[in-house]
Amino acid sequence: MSTTTTGAFADALAPLNGRVERVPAAEVAETIDAAAVAPAVGVPLDIDGVSLPDSVATDFSADGVESAATGVTPAALGVAEYGSLLLEHAPAGAEPAQLYPSTHVAVLRESDLYPDLESAWSEVAAAFDAGRDDAVLATGSSATADMGELVRGVHGPREVIVVLVEDR
């Protein structure tokens, strides 16, 4: 994966109220800690050598997620040309954590970044064929123009921060 792919990903996210922090695995926890607005909730990340900081609560309830300011979840893949993330709904709690808090921190392995939608889509289709049944391709933050001009943060997050884990 070239760094130009990573650059394209960051460039595509920027106008959508998103930003990318590229760090080695060992620095993921402190990067999340710095990016997350408290109170933060999250689900386990399942990436080698990566853990959540203590400031992120994992035993949250429905009420907890509604009052959290930040949700931290893994992202299954990224689409560099559009700044999109494939967010799966497992493990339990990942979906509400992506959806309710106003800041979403997504942790993505750099090797899961695809250059374009077509190449990423084959992966999405393969995952569904293999039994996945619930995922969202999220591009930037939640937005509406219904009130007369663009407003971010409607029924989903206002801001998206991608922590990109250097893994190659």
Partner 1 sequence: MSSDRQRKAAKIREVMREEGDAVRESAGHHNEMRKDAVARLDDYEDLRDRARAIKEDAIERLPELVDELTDSVEANGGHVYLAEDAADANDYITSVCADADTVVKSKSMTSEEVDVNDALHADGLDVWETDLGELILQVADDSPSHLIGPAMHFTTTEIADLFNDVFDPDEPLETPEELTAFARDLLSEKFAEADVGMTGANFLCADSGSMALVTSEGNARKTVQATDTHIALAGVEKIVPSIEELYPFVELLAKSGTGQDLTSYVTMLSPPVDSPSQGVDGPMTAASADDRDFHLVLLDNGRMDMRDDDHLKETLYCIRCSACSNACANFQHVGGHAFGGETYSGGIGTGWEAGVHGLDSAGEFSDFCTGCSRCTTACPVEIDIPWINEVVRDRVNHQGREEGFDFLVDGLSPDAEPGRLDVEKRLFGNVGLLADAGSATAPLSNLVASFGPARDLMERVTGIDARRDLPEWQRETLQDWFARRGGSTVDEAAASRSAVLYPDVYTDHVQVERGKAAVRVLEALDVHVTIPDLPESGRAPLSQGMIDTADDRASAVYGGLAEHLDAGRDVVVIEPSDLAMFREDYEHFLPDASFERLSENAYEVFEYVYGRLDEGATLDALRAGHERLAYHAHCQQRTLDLAPYTESVLERLGYDLLTTDVECCGMAGSFGYKSEYYELSMDVGEDVREQLSTTDAADRRVVASGTSCLEQLSDLLRKPTRHPIEVVDPRR
Using CB under 8 A as the criterion, which residues of the chain lie in contact with partner 1 when the complex forms? 12, 16, 59-63, 65-66, 81-82, 84, 89-96, 99, 117-118, 121-122, 124-125, 128-129, 133-151, 153-156
Q: Which is nearer to partner 1, 31 or 95 (CB)?
A: 95
Q: Which is nearer to partner 1, 30 or 134 (CB)?
A: 134
What's the closest the beta carbon of residue 66 comes to partner 1, in angstroms?
Answer: 7
CA 13 to chain centre: 11
What's the closest the beta carbon of residue 25 comes to partner 1, in angstroms?
Answer: 26
What's the closest the beta carbon of residue 115 comes to partner 1, in angstroms?
Answer: 14
**3-class DSSP assignment, residue 14:** helix
**3-class DSSP assignment, residue 147:** coil
Q: Which is nearer to partner 1, 20 or 165 (CB)?
A: 20
Q: Which is nearer to partner 1, 26 or 125 (CB)?
A: 125
Residues 28-59 as b or e (16 or more Cβ within 10 Å = b): bbebbbebbeeebbbbebebeebebbebbbee
Q: Answer whether 55's CB lies under 8 Å from 87's CB.
A: no
What's the closest the beta carbon of residue 7 comes to partner 1, in angstroms?
Answer: 17
First to last CA, the chain: 8
